[in-house]
Amino acid sequence: MSVDSQKARRACCANLKLFLASMAFVYFSKAFAGAYMKSSITQIERRFDVPSSLIGVIDGSFEMGNLLVVAFVSYFGAKMHRPKLIAIGCVMMSAGCFLTALPHFLQGMYKYETSVYHNSDVNSTESFLPCLSNHTLAEADKMPDLETRTACEKAAGSSMWIYIFFGNMLRGIGETPIMPLGISYLDDFSREENTPFYLACIHTVGILGPMFGFMLGSFLSKIYVDIGSVDLDAVTINYKDSRWVGAWWLGFIVTGTVILLSSIPFWFLPKSLPKEGQEESKGTELSTVTEQENFLPDETQDEEKEKPVTFQELAKDFLPSLRRLFRNTIYVLMILTYLVSVNGFIGMITFKPKFMEQIYGQSASKAIFLIGAMNLPAVALGIITGGFVLKRFKLGVVGAARLAFGASLGSLCLLTVQSFLRCDNAEVAGITALYQGGPQLSYDPQTLLSQCNMGCSCSMKQWDPVCAYNGMTYASPCLAGCRTSSGTGKERVFHNCTCTRELMTPGMNMSAVLGQCPRISNCDYIFKIYMSLSVLGSFISACGGTPGYVVLLRSIQPDLKSLALGMQILIVRTLGGIPPPIYFGALIDQTCLKWGSKQCGGRGACRIYDADAFRITFLGLITGLYFLSNILWGGLYCTIVKTHKKSTLRNQAKENGLDGDKSGNGHANISIVKNKEDADNESTI
């Protein structure tokens, strides 16, 4: 081997390794931003006082932006400078993150709903009388007129969520080139047997992004939204309160900066690379038929040397290429399978923190932390395990499909078990506990009034929960019948709460403190079982990720690879990314028991849900979607097996024909690849 060829080989390997490292970093950064967005859903919902259904629309704007350009980027981008297109996409993603954080700097301070008047002097010992002096609070329940409400909303900046919508959409547009162009670039210039391992490495590094994203979300959710601008001693709520809003905006500045850094290497990568390992086989290339070529349907293609083509020629060939692609039965079934499973996954990951918060009594911060610290490492381990199994046992398309189907089936079984784990509702007087101390003290679920607070003229819409020493939560100090108070800020204590009397033995303290009461059942033990099953299910499901991807790559023609991956993104994200947060959110809204009130009037975010209805709706919907995806996987696996058998018989027939034609010459037969007809024949020695 000459010195020049050795240098060329080293340069090729260096560029491929640089691209591999760059792809891993960009996968990390995009997943970092995406996971942080998911972890901030609850904070954004509270900050802008919007229902879960509208939060679903905001979350789905990422997919909307993606689908706007994915088909064109995937098709036309494959003929252009793919690394530079990825770099441009990263810059757009970064801009989207910065735009998402912008509303924090344009709107006023966050004002949470409370029935407690704040004294500017935190050292003041002035007493607040919730019941006796609360006669004016009932007037707050009246809806303001349209003019007053419009002026209030303009001052409060309550429609600023539109910036988050468009910022998330811009991030979706920017992410479009990464997967179809990056994966096809890697598959084009790497050894076929190395591709599964490279993909596993990229996705494993990429899964660190969600880990860091959820960790950052957990950390920032404990920091008050207006940190540095308000006196924190005057804030009467803590991060466990359903009205608390963390510093959600700060994370988008961090993620935008990381994405911007990830774009740098792609500006210096070449448009194309020599095929990995090509130097070893140059000049003596046998006409071996790869598994992919055997597996694909027969097509007559012109494989002459690629010539420069014009944009008009590319556009003219777009529809014929689509027809060729969707005549591939395995590809169509793969798309349908992914579509259903992604519906379940997106709905689950969007509202899982809220599920853990409402069903198992965890704080939003702890729920986000556990997802990042436990579920996501299990996913990373599962992805690398799936790639290792493929490489170690040299599994073909059929073996990869079998592994992916088995992993999907295993995760469904564990998800079904999770559906039967439940905790009791949090006890809130008049909402989940209509009777207190027997029927003699009952609550009207519409007004939350009872004999003990009838004379207080309490606001029915205020949500400022207090926890009494009897273990019961009340929607406000007034509705608990509290007569006096002492202390300031988070340390304020309410005394002589008449509604607590019925559940107390004589001599007990009739006081209450700010915040909801902790769960008193065995919910912590049940939550540990739930998390164990959730982590194990995440690992098993992830084991099928890389094998499923290999099946997809091996089922499409090489010249259609970028288009196929792009169309997969277009279809799956259009129908699997946009609708789930919306219909999941709308169904979850139906289980709300107590809605908050907006600063300017009207219904705000939900404060407490019916735990059983939430659990049945959420897990039942996910389990149903995963069950349907497993049925499709079964049909897909049968189709793959039949196709593989047909291709095997066809190749055997070709071999027999070659043996019959070439027998008797007494020499070894070696055929060199020169054209399409030669490539259809397997070399014989």
Give 199-228 pLDDT, tens digit per residue. Answer: 878 877 887 888 899 999 999 999 999 988
Q: Which residue has the higher pLDDT, 325 or 598?
A: 325
Using DSSP's 3-state secondary structure scheme, residue 467 falls into strand
Which positions ≥6 away from 160 have C-beta within 8 Å?
48, 103, 106, 107
For residue 663, the tally of other CB atoms under 10 A from its CB is: 9
| Cβ contacts of 489-497, under 8 Å, gap ≥ 24 | 489/122, 489/233, 489/234, 489/235, 489/236, 490/235, 490/236, 490/237, 490/238, 490/514, 492/116, 492/128, 492/236, 494/130, 494/466, 497/466, 497/468
For residue 253, the tally of other CB atoms under 10 A from its CB is: 13
For residue 361, the tally of other CB atoms under 10 A from its CB is: 22
pLDDT interval class at 363 (50, 70, 90): confident
How much is the pLDDT for 668? Answer: 41
Given a cut of 80, whether residue 684 has pLDDT beyond it is no
Residue pair 459/141 in contact (Cβ under 8 Å)? The answer is: yes
Q: Which of 6-20, 102-116, 413-427, 654-668 shows the highest mean pLDDT? A: 413-427
Q: Which two tokens stand for residue 429?
A: 């007087």
How much is the pLDDT for 491? Answer: 83
Given a cut of 90, whether residue 521 has pLDDT beyond it is no
Q: Which of 14-23, 495-504, 531-540, 591-600 shows the highest mean pLDDT? A: 531-540
Which of 299-303, 365-369, 451-455, 666-670 bottoms out in mean pLDDT, i.e. has the lowest?
A: 666-670
Which positions ≥6 away from 31 have C-beta within 8 Å?
206, 207, 208, 209, 210, 213
Length in residues, the chain: 685
Q: Which residue has the higher pLDDT, 601 or 415?
A: 415
How much is the pLDDT for 160? Answer: 85
DSSP letter at 296 equals S
Q: Which two tokens stand for residue 507?
A: 């001599």
**Which residue, among 209, 187, 210, 208, has the nearest Cα to 199 in the 3D structure?**
187
Average pLDDT over residues 469-489: 84
Token look-up 């939060």 returns: 55
Which of 497-501, 506-510, 591-595 bottoms out in mean pLDDT, i.e. has the lowest?
A: 506-510
Given a cut of 50, whether residue 658 has pLDDT beyond it is yes
Using DSSP's 3-state secondary structure scheme, residue 216 falls into helix
- Burial class for 188, CB neighbours closer than 10 Å (0-12, 13-18, 19+): middle
Average pLDDT over residues 648-664: 72
Q: How far apart are CA 113 and CA 150, in angstroms?
A: 19
User: Which amino acid would we find at residue 57?
Assistant: V
| Backbone dihedral angles phi then psi of residue 595, each to the nearest 5 degrees | -95, 145
Q: Which of 226-230, 543-547, 657-661 shows the highest mean pLDDT? A: 543-547
Average pLDDT over residues 155-184: 84
What mean pLDDT, rounded, does the chain reach?
Answer: 80
Q: How far apart are CA 565 and CA 550, in angstroms?
A: 12
How much is the pLDDT for 248? Answer: 94
Q: Which residue has the higher pLDDT, 438 or 106?
A: 106
Residues 39-82: pLDDT tens digits? 998 899 888 888 888 888 898 899 888 878 877 787 777 677 88
In the beta sheet, which residues pair with residue 468?
512
Please report, for residues 263, 347, 416, 592, 629, the alpha-carbon distance to residue 583 in angstroms, rounded to integers and kept in the order given: 35, 9, 21, 15, 18
How much is the pLDDT for 296? Answer: 61
Which of 49-63, 436-450, 547-561, 579-593 bottoms out in mean pLDDT, i.e. has the lowest?
A: 436-450
pLDDT interval class at 302 (50, 70, 90): very low
